[in-house]
Amino acid sequence: MIRARRARIVATLGPASRAPGMVKALAEAGVDVFRLNFSHGSHEDHAAALKAVRGAELALQRPLGVLADLQGPKLRLGRFANVEIDIKPGHKMRFDLDPTPGDATRVEMPHPEIFRALRTGMLLLLDDGRVRLRVNDRTDEWADVTVESGSKLSDRKGVAVPEAVVPVSALTPKDREDLAFALRIGVDWVALSFVQKPEDMAELKSIVKGRAACLAKIEKPQALADLEAILDYCDGVMVARGDLGVEMDPEEVPVAQKAIIRAARRRGVPVIVATQMLESMTASPAPTRAEASDVANAVYEGADALMLSAETASGDYPLEAVGIMNRIMERVEADPLWPSLMDAEHAGMDDIDADALVAAARKAGEAQSTACIVIFTTLGGTARRMSRERPLQPMLALTPKPETARRLSLVWGLEPRLGNEPTSLEDVTDNAVKSAMDFGLAQPGQRILILAGTPFGAPGAANLLRLAHAPARKGKR
């Protein structure tokens, strides 16, 4: 199952898709990584879904990644005595810490950390941005606000503070329980929601301790302002356009998406574009033309992966959504313009041997006789560096570690597979040539580029670039 495209597909599992037969069908249709959304479902649901993924992986003989997406903090209003109130622009009310059910004059906002972060004149967004408020006055225990837009406000609506860093941990008690469970069942990636600052990711990594790769969901303007520092702690990053779109003006979201993708590509950090990619397919067997263009544009931008959420978790057409996303990706990558876009931007080298080596491999790969690149990797670092260069040849990443192969299933252009650790230079060459031919990536006489590291069997950056040729006939090389 070698993919006919480099961009990867992440699909969310849920009631419409977590049955073993459906998981296998989704993988066959093109899913590379399966997302477990811990905002919904029980631990038992997620354990069963992961078991189904591992079963599909075994049946298809292709590594499949599993991403645990933590819910993150949910800042919400309290309750109203009559469930809902009518409001209009100019309406004034108070938010406070009193748990008494509210009315049109006041309501509880049970988050003292928000009051501490507010300043007079700041904007508050409620109900996914449907209600906009301006802070007139505040203390550490209450805030007086004026409605700028909106017509109704009801119980437990979410609160966003786009102009301040709210001093709340990105890991709630629920997240910590979910994280411990996710690591126990053996997920490959963990995504942290509502990252605001580098310390949020540093805390996650200190808990995970290498048992999974760590990904930051960028959905707060504050994270954009500190993006480079956050990326220092990231194994991956997600452009979470849903919540990002709540706290930013609509015209700013596409600009933010491009900035995040560029920053991640420079670092060689895999980047996922998420939210409403094919939203209409939750209830329709075909996407809108705008959605097809949205998917295509993310591929043209060089994103590592695109994510489906409700489309596969609860929608009526999960298989069709994956199939159409796969077709759009393949069509974009067949565009004669696409290779020049992938070649237009390359990361600067860090003046280390591995960076020089992958740059040389990319250059050598431009020869027409080069069929593929075979990368021997233990922890995945060399493979990610090679992917960062966006070579157009297929890249086969051979690793002795199942967890490495599964994590690399998210990375642009890589075909991760399990392979024995080479023990000699001859072993490296023989394994690379045999694997390339077994997977149909090289034909007799074609050149194969090989990246590996010595001493063999020891984790570390690649320091060996070798050229080999697929044998013209059996027994010759």
User: Which residues are identified as catalytic?
Assistant: 35, 76, 217, 275
**Bridge pairing between strands 84-86 and 92-96:** unpaired
User: Position 19: which residue type?
Assistant: A
Give me 29's structure tokens.
């249709």
Which residue has 């209450």 as its token pair?
142
Task: Report the Cα 169 to chain-centroid distance in Å.
Answer: 21
Residues 240 and 260 sit within 8 Å (Cβ to Cβ): no
Task: Kindly state the DSSP code that residue 468 receives in the 8-state scheme.
Answer: E
CA distance 122 to 161: 8
What residue type is assigned to position 124 of the chain? L
Return d(Cα 378, Cα 381) in angstroms, integer.
Answer: 8
Q: Based on the number of CB atoms within 10 Å of its own CB, is 239 exposed (0-12), middle (13-18) or buried (19 or more)? A: buried
Residue 69 burial class via C-beta count within 10 angstroms: exposed 0-12, middle 13-18, buried 19 and up: buried
CA angle centred on 342, ends 287 and 291, rounded to 5°: 10
Q: Residue 175's Cα: distance from chain center in Å?
A: 18
Please choose, from the candidates 249, 251, 242, the residue with its C-alpha nearest in 3D space to the C-alpha of residue 218. 242
Distance CA 391, CA 291 (A): 27
Q: Do 332 and 299 form a contact (C-beta atoms < 8 A)?
A: yes
Residue carrying structure tokens 């992917």: 387
